[in-house]
């Protein structure tokens, strides 16, 4: 796994460069996190289950004590394979959660 660098503007002076793992940890401990995933620009790898990818994203968030405020997945349902849409729909949290939403093209599914 590679570590990315994030530019953090903490003050009006010069920005600080911080380790992405530290940034995720700091942000997740301080407030709820919203996840936005455009699967046409960040595609699901071939032979990978979209449900497992969503689970991994959530695991990383929870690992750092984060709270999922919203998880939005955007795609064109007319162009995406039906099994991918089905698996992404299966990844939605139960109705009682009301903290999860998933967007598909112009149609919004889920709960806010």
Express each pLDDT in 81-94 by its tens digit.
999 988 888 888 75
Instruction: Using the predicted structure, report yes or no on whether residue 112 has a pLDDT greater than 80.
Output: no
Does residue 43 share a domain with residue 88? yes
Total domains, the chain:
2
C-beta of residue 109 within 8 angstroms of C-beta of residue 89? yes
- How high is the pLDDT of residue 56? 92
Q: What is the pTM of this model?
A: 0.56
| Residue numbers of the domain that contains 50 | 32-110
- How high is the pLDDT of residue 40? 86
* Residue whose tokens read 């007319």: 78
Does residue 92 share a domain with residue 58? yes
Does residue 41 share a domain with residue 25? no
């Amino acid at each position: 796994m590679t570590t990315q660098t994030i530019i953090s503007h903490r003050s009006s002076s010069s920005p600080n460069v911080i380790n992405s793992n530290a940034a995720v940890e700091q942000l997740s401990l301080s407030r709820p996190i919203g996840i936005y995933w455009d699967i046409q620009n960040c595609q699901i790898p071939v032979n990978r289950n979209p449900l497992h990818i969503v689970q991994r994203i959530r695991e990383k968030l929870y690992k750092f004590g984060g709270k999922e405020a919203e998880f939005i997945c955007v795609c064109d349902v007319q162009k995406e394979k039906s099994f991918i849409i089905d698996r992404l729909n299966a990844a939605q949290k139960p109705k009682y959660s009301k903290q999860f939403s998933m967007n598909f093209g112009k149609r919004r599914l889920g709960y806010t």
